[in-house]
Amino acid sequence: MGKVVLISHPLIEHKLAIVRNKFTDTKTFRENVNEIGSLVTYEITRDLTTKDVKIETPIATTICQELAKEVVIVPILRAGLGMVDGIHNVIPTAKIGHIGLYRDETTLTPHAYYVKLPHILTEATILVVDPMLATGGSAVAAINLVKQQGGKDIRFVGLVGCPEGISVLQKHHPDVDIYLVAVDEKLNELGYIVPGLGDCGDRLFGTK
């Protein structure tokens, strides 16, 4: 079973309070989601493997370390875009794919409308990114698509999850580690996390 890692840090907690606040404006919300993305990157990549590389410093030749595998960031559209720049700023060599999903408001079932992924998934470490792990349906569908294109080393990266979403993701993809900043109480009858932070996509892009 994949592990669930809760990433805790005073700066993350401070910024999470800002994004939870319903009075936070779009610009501030987007900036803080992005900044949390940067801060969690150190934890989600802590166990990446490295390999020896010979380099020349201004003084001498020496052996250093570089990442042994490529990293691919795959945001689930739209909300996943809010964390991409923050992660990419820390790993600027990472490739970026995109998976677009929309959720049927009645059945809550996700449907793909756009999939564009790099052709290196088999040998890469893949970060599937979505700030909210609510019903788990979108995460499961996105990871299904990544695996169909050869992805193996996959990690889910979010901000806020709930027990229901974690359970669904672990049931369908027990090999995927889950990284979150907070695990909230539950889902409500509309499929939103309680207390959560509302509709992350709408708050990121000012569409509601």
**Residue 103 falls in the annotated catalytic set:** yes
Residue 171 lies in domain: 4-48+67-205
Number of domains in the chain: 1
**Residue 47 falls in the annotated catalytic set:** no
Per DSSP, the residues of 41-76 read: HHHHTTT--EEEEEEE-SS-EEEEEEESS-EEEEEE
Q: What is the pTM of this model?
A: 0.93
Q: Do 72 and 121 contact (CB within 8 A), yes or no? A: yes
- CATH code of 157's domain: 3.40.50.2020
Say which of 25, 104, 175, 202 is annotated catalytic. Answer: 202
Q: Is residue 59 part of a domain?
A: no
CA angle 198, 199, 202 (to 5 degrees): 130
- Please identify which residue in the block is written with the tokens 């979505």: 130
Q: Is residue 53 part of a domain?
A: no
**Residue 122 falls in the annotated catalytic set:** no
pLDDT in tens, the chain (208 residues): 889 999 999 999 999 999 999 999 999 999 999 999 999 999 999 999 999 999 999 999 999 999 999 999 999 999 999 999 999 999 999 999 999 998 777 776 788 999 999 999 999 999 999 999 999 999 999 999 999 999 999 999 999 999 999 999 999 999 999 999 999 999 998 889 999 999 999 999 999 7
**Residue 199 falls in the annotated catalytic set:** yes
Q: How far apart are CA 181 and CA 158, in angstroms?
A: 7
Q: How far apart are CA 184 and CA 30, in angstroms?
A: 21
